[in-house]
Amino acid sequence: MENQQERRQNFSKRLTQIELENRMILFSYTVVADFFEFQADHLFFMNATDSVGKEWIFVGKFHASDTVGNYVSISLPWFAVEKGLKANDEITFTEIPQGNRSWKNFKVVIKRKIRLFGQDIWGELMV
């Protein structure tokens, strides 16, 4: 039987140098709409577990803008430092189903592109 609910299970993006300098990543609200209900100027919290099992709490905020539309910022100051994040690293948040609980839990994975024997390979950061 086909899954009747066409809902995304994750969201991701490649990090920019500006995002790393500010230790904050930005997503268009349409990218995260399956996970969070938009409430302008409200904060939200994300529990996340990284690839080595460490738990993190990320603080996000909803923003409304006439020029760029609705977007979400997610702050990750200690995570960015501890993981040694670099521009063009890819960060992916995958939802871990929690039943009817009101908070969201995610697995967070960082991938970095390396060049090996003349080929570009994406590998998961395990730090």
Give the pLDDT score at 127.
76
Predicted model pTM: 0.85
Interval 89-109: pLDDT, tens: 999 999 998 776 667 899 999
- Residue 1 confidence class, pLDDT cut points 50, 70, 90: very low
Could you tell me which CATH number the domain at 10-124 has? Answer: 2.40.330.10
Side-chain-facing half-sphere of 30: CA atoms under 13 Å:
2
Residue spans per domain, the chain = 10-124
Q: Is the pLDDT of residue 16 over 80?
A: yes
Closest listed residue to residue 77, CA positions, set 23, 18, 25, 27: 23
Mean pLDDT of the chain: 89
